[in-house]
Chain A
Amino acid sequence: MAIALVLVLVVVGSVLFHALSPWWWTPIASNWGYIDSTLIITFWITGAVFAAVVLFMAYCVWRFRHKEGNVAHYEPENKRLEWWLTILTGLGVTAMLVPGLFVWSQFVTVPADATEVEVIAQQWQWSYRLPGADGKLGTSGSHLVSPENPLGVNPDDPNGQDDVVVEAADLHLPMDKPVKMLLRSIDVLHDFYVPEFRAKMDMIPGSVTYFWFTPTRTGTFEVLCAELCGTGHGFMRGIVMIDTAEDYATWLGEQSTFAQLSTPEQVGAAEQTVVRP
């Protein structure tokens, strides 16, 4: 009868581990509390089903174990029971899917007032670009990448001249302002992942992908690459700092624009036309 006991212990142990162990998700720092709620609903439904099925099995194994003279019941089918179980399962699945799709529709609908921020990944570091005073990012492309222009910003695009370039350094974002993260890679697949934001998305060379979120508390958060990108994958980390509006403005004031970086001898002369070889 060891197996019936072990089956019960598997259920009890799993539930206790879930409830009592210290390993749980990190406190959220974005607007995606809905994702956490959907996850919790899923935990409840699946946990109940797991416990019910395994405990029922344990009961069957104990109650109907072989004893001399036992004869199994003969019942090939029971259409009524099978239909009921199918309908109940369908309801359970719907209870998870409907809220899931509802939250997904929010996840893929970027609010109109979201600020665009570009993340540029390469083996194995993170860089960023913020729109300048004109609120627009200039065009870019991998074919434009060179030692002097590591992010591949189009030097002929006037929208790009005032873009703030943060190369291989920390990104700062203001609290409570929705941001649309435009994700770009110049070499292989990467994935911009900050556990506290709950959101992540792959970055594909040749495409621009995106997700949006609103930071909801200040702090320092670690960026991890979540798509295998070669030997340095596990060490491709970065920092995002969520600031108050004042701190953010201070930080932004210390950054350089694309035009300034392109002509280092004329730092501050962003309005001049830049001619590049």
Chain B
Amino acid sequence: MVDVTPGAVDVIPPAEVPEVELYHPHSWWTKYVFSQDAKVIAIQYSGTAIAIGMVALVLSWLMRLQLGFPGTFDFITPEAYYQFITMHGMIMVIYLLTALFLGGFGNYLIPLMVGARDMVFPYVNMLSYWIYLLAVLVLVASFFAPGGPTGAGWTLYPPQAILGGTPGGQQAGIILMLVSLILFIIGFTMGGLNYVVTVLQGRARGMTLMRMPLTVWGIFTATVMALLAFPALFVASVMMLFDRVLGTSFFMPALVEMGEQLSYGGGSPILFQHLFWFFGHPEVYIVALPAFGIVSDLISTHARKNIFGYRMMVWAIVGIGALSFIVWAHHMYVSGMHPYFGFFFATTTLIIAVPTAIKVYNWVLTLWRGDIHLTIPMLFALAFIVTFVNGGLTGLFLGNVVVDVPLSDTMFVVAHFHMVMGVAPILVIFGAIYHWYPKITGRMLNEALGQFHFWVTFVGAYAIFFPMHYVGLVGVPRRYPEIGEPAFITAPVENLNAFITVAALVVGFAQLVFLFNLIWSIWNGREAGGNPWRATTLEWQTSETPPPHGNFGKELPIVYRWAYDYSVPGAKEDFIAQNDPGTGRPATGLA
């Protein structure tokens, strides 16, 4: 049943437009700081995202210390605890994962992988980063504002988000949070338009859509989704800001706060939830689809085998992207919305499991009869599959409306979403950094430190989040700084919580080893050469490593084949680069 279309060479169209001269930097400032080079912007995005991510890591330690050893740390008041969980969640989802996958990997990889000199709108691309940085600074400022950052939970549900009973609700915390989100979305839109237009208009000759690496498909689809989903969060943020600052009542019904009648009236708290999750559910896939794409390429490259079922993989990405816009209310089964919505959203949610499962099968079938090199990127890819399958399967509990009822708002949910959109995508990020670091710096990351980082992170993260499901199954609600010893708890959860906390601290410290490796290897890593993994895609075929401004040498590459010609029968080597015209070799790949 092998479906190979020979003769792929004959679809190289002539160049449609002459090349445009790039803006060339004239000074150190325009080369490294206010740079319009997507690769520099990518590193700026990544560095900022990792830096703010470290803040989120420390916050997770603090919240775990409270949960593991309640009452031990006097400075962790309930107010502080809610501020920790809120900022941890918001930073991880928006400012780390979204920014790193799209702003970081998107910027670095899209132009290189599609064979473009740069993004199509380099100046707007530069602005995108600086507005993102501003959003991060506003977010950080809320830590120093009177009353501290908001403690409304990362979902920011009104009315409590803007009332005095919540940390930061009647102070600056919530205002800075909303302003930061608004800035983030403005900045993201500038970058996002670039990624989409570059993929659609900037590809090299011969790079048909169905020859693109799955990394590009994943980032491209995620960006299209983000451009459609973030506006919902944008309007929700603006409306809540108006409710808080101007006294409008978009989300605020008549209510009594601490015995006092407030002047709000007529608004709908549940409208906010619909807007939030209309953004929030696609957001899960905005993070997951780039991870899906990247991990496909890692597995294929390091197993020296074409990705199994490429066309099915592309359609699964597109299908998941489309379906993810009609499942949002599965976050709201017990929100008090009309109960008949449950039938619809449970059905759409479980349908999305089918294309997702296909992706998992195809990753595993790519391993089947491969030539598996257990490099660090491959190890992280394998760990991703384990954690993603685990987290995806618990999604079938929570997506199936009536099964969700006892589990909703318990620690089971926390365990589920950390496994599926925390641990799994972050394992891909690590794998991707180990994979592309040699291209970015010209040197390999240290292997021994990488092994240490991998084992502690994978085993440790599983030890954190697998048992956490059972804390939720026992019935412990999420967002409780301490549960005490209520009668419904069948077996004490203190020991389990303490174990999880210790595991979280260990995993956290392993990330410091990773950071050290990242910096140390810039100067001390082994020289990588241009294509250390013997990969097929265009970024590994550049004339120089690291690639210069403009990416490719004098001539842009011409693409003759798909991205997965590994171990082609009859070929001299076990890979054929995408820009290899294939003289004397079989021209293969899917048309």
A and B from one complex: yes
Chain-A contact segment, one of B37-45, B352-360, B506-514: B352-360
Residues of A within 8 A of B1 (CB): 77-81
CB atoms of B496 and A42 under 8 A apart:
no
Chain A's closest residue to B379 (CB) is A3
Besides the contacts A46-B397, A183-B336, A226-B477, what 5 more A-B pairs have beta carbons closer than 8 Å? A35-B402, A50-B393, A74-B2, A104-B346, A205-B255
Residues of A within 8 A of B400 (CB): 38, 42, 96-97, 100
Chain-A contact segment, one of B11-19, B24-32, B155-163: B155-163
Q: A176 within 8 Å of B by Cβ? A: no
Interface residues of A in 192-216 (CB under 8 A from B): 193, 195-196, 198-207, 209
Chain B's closest residue to A108 (CB) is B339
A3, A49, A143, A228: the one contacting B157 at CB < 8 Å is A228
Chain-B contact segment, one of A16-24, A161-169, A244-252: A16-24
Report Cα–Cα, A229/B493, bound state, in Å.
Answer: 24
Interface SS, A side:
mixed
| Total contacting residues, chain B, CB less than 8 A | 120
Chain-A contact segment, one of B183-191, B201-209, B303-311: B303-311
Map CB proximity to A onto B253-267 as digits: 1 under 8 Å, 0 otherwise.
Answer: 111111101000001
Report Cα–Cα, A81/B407, bound state, in Å.
Answer: 35
Q: B92 within 8 Å of A by Cβ? A: no
Report Cα–Cα, A152/B354, bound state, in Å.
Answer: 49
Report Cα–Cα, A89/B392, bound state, in Å.
Answer: 13
Residues of A within 8 A of B370 (CB): 60, 64, 72-73
- 19 residue pairs of the A-B complex, CB under 8 angstroms, read A14-B390, A25-B475, A42-B403, A49-B393, A54-B385, A57-B385, A65-B374, A66-B372, A70-B371, A79-B3, A82-B312, A101-B343, A145-B259, A188-B163, A204-B336, A205-B269, A228-B82, A228-B157, A228-B479
**A-B pairs, 8 with minimum CB distance:** A206-B253, A230-B165, A195-B475, A22-B491, A209-B336, A73-B369, A108-B339, A46-B393
Report Cα–Cα, A189/B496, bound state, in Å.
Answer: 30
Chain-B contact segment, one of A231-239, A255-263, A265-273: A231-239
CB atoms of B255 and A96 under 8 A apart:
no
Of listed A101, A104, A198, residue having the most chain B CB within 10 A: A104
Report Cα–Cα, A152/B574, bound state, in Å.
Answer: 76
Residues of B within 8 A of A141 (CB): 254
Residues of B within 8 A of A86 (CB): 354, 357-358
Q: A186 within 8 Å of B by Cβ? A: yes
CB atoms of B486 and A222 under 8 A apart:
yes
Chain A's closest residue to B570 (CB) is A74
Map CB proximity to A onto B369-405 as digits: 1 under 8 Å, 0 otherwise.
Answer: 1111110000100100110011001101100111101
Report Cα–Cα, A94/B559, bound state, in Å.
Answer: 43
Report Cα–Cα, A234/B360, bound state, in Å.
Answer: 38
Q: B351 within 8 Å of A by Cβ? A: yes
Q: A154 within 8 Å of B by Cβ? A: no
Residues of A within 8 A of B346 (CB): 97, 100-101, 104
Map CB proximity to B onto A27-45 as digits: 1 under 8 Å, 0 otherwise.
Answer: 1000010110011001001
